[in-house]
Each structure stands twice: as structure tokens, then as C-alpha cells.
Amino acid sequence: MVEVFDPRKSGQIWAFDPGAVFSGLAGVFYEPLDTVADLQPAPEQDSYWAQFSDGVELYDHFRGLTRYKNTVVLVEDFSHGGTFTLEAKQTLEIVGFLTRQLVRDDYTVIRRHKDKRLSGQSEAARLMNGTVVELKKDPARKDAFSALAHCITYHREMEKLRV
């Protein structure tokens, strides 16, 4: 049985941002009394981010990083508007793989709409030592940036629950 993330305990919040070329992975290490403002960029290790072009390599890398039972995994859900392109198909395949495999491996999985990340972009940029504008354009970091922004917004939601 999969346990639900408990905002009163230490844990990890992970997020995947599947993309057509790269998929981003990010995580924040959650302490119950800390706020998003308390998170520090590397080398303090409060957050982590990476990008991979191969979905299986991405997942295997993620599995090597999780270390708490109190872990939640966010997956940016596929949203489609317009022509169904090869890039859209590849993104959909990554979302399907992640959501099925994560549940199989007993992770708590929450699908998130892409717009849920927007309010977390400035904090994610701070943790990645960049600006929102440059990170959104950088092909080597943009998907990891989006994943980290998802972690930030979920962290804020957990802060509200523990009051």
C-alpha cells in the first residue's frame, strides 16, 4: 500500500517534467519546519535537478536518489492543444511510462497541470543560480527548471497544510 506524503515529517518532493527531447527531474528535501525561502542552492543540497534524453536512464537515476519513505513524486501531465506531433507523442509516452512505473515501485504519484509550476519559477531560478528568462530558454536546463518549479509550488501547498 502506498502511503500519502505527510507534511509533518521530513521527506522528499520529486518532480518530472517530460519533454519531447529532454525530460527534467528535480527534487527538494523537505523539512517540516522549513519554508520555500529556507531552501538553499547547491552545495547545501536542499535541492537537486538534472535532465535526461532517455526515459529509462532518467528513471534509473531517480531511483538512485530517493532515500525517504515520506516521498511524493509529481509528474507534469500531458496537455494537448492542436496538432498531434511526434514531440507530443514522445512526451505522452514518457508521462505514461513514469506514471505506471512509479506506482509499480510504490511511489505516491500526483499528476500536475503544467500551469501549476508557474508561481514557483522565481524560487526555482534562485536555486538554479539563474534567471527565469534564461532558464526557460536554455535547452540544457529548461525541463529541469520546470520540474524544480513544480517541487516549489507543491512545497508551498504542504506548508499551508501543516499550520
Predicted confidence (pLDDT) per residue in 32-66, tens digit: 899 999 998 866 678 899 999 998 999 999 998 88
Residue 2 forms part of a structural domain: no
Residue 4 forms part of a structural domain: no
- Longest Cα–Cα distance in the chain: 45
Structural domain of 31: 11-161
Instruction: Please compute the mean of the pLDDT values over residues 139-146 and round it to a whole number.
Output: 95
**DSSP for 15-47?**
EEE--SS-EEEEEEEE-TT--GGG---TTS-SE
CA distances from 101 to 25, 29, 50, 55, 109 (A): 15, 22, 19, 11, 10
Per the structure, the count of domains in the chain is 1
**Can you give the CATH number for the domain in which 68 is found?**
3.30.420.10
Instruction: Please compute the mean of the pLDDT values over residues 17-33 and round it to a whole number.
Output: 90
Residue 111 forms part of a structural domain: yes
* pTM of the model as a whole: 0.92
Strands (E), the chain: 11-17, 23-30, 47-52, 71-76, 108-112
Residue 1 forms part of a structural domain: no
pLDDT band (50, 70, 90) for residue 163:
low
Residue 57 forms part of a structural domain: yes
Who wins on pLDDT, 161 or 137?
137
Residue 31 forms part of a structural domain: yes
Cell of 97: 511510462
Sequence-distant (6+) residues with CB within 8 A of 160 are none
Sequence-distant (6+) residues with CB within 8 A of 138 are 130, 145
The 10s digit of each residue's pLDDT in 84-118 is: 777 778 888 888 899 999 999 989 999 999 999 99
Residue 116 forms part of a structural domain: yes
pLDDT band (50, 70, 90) for residue 68:
confident
Residue 156 forms part of a structural domain: yes
Cell of 79: 496537455
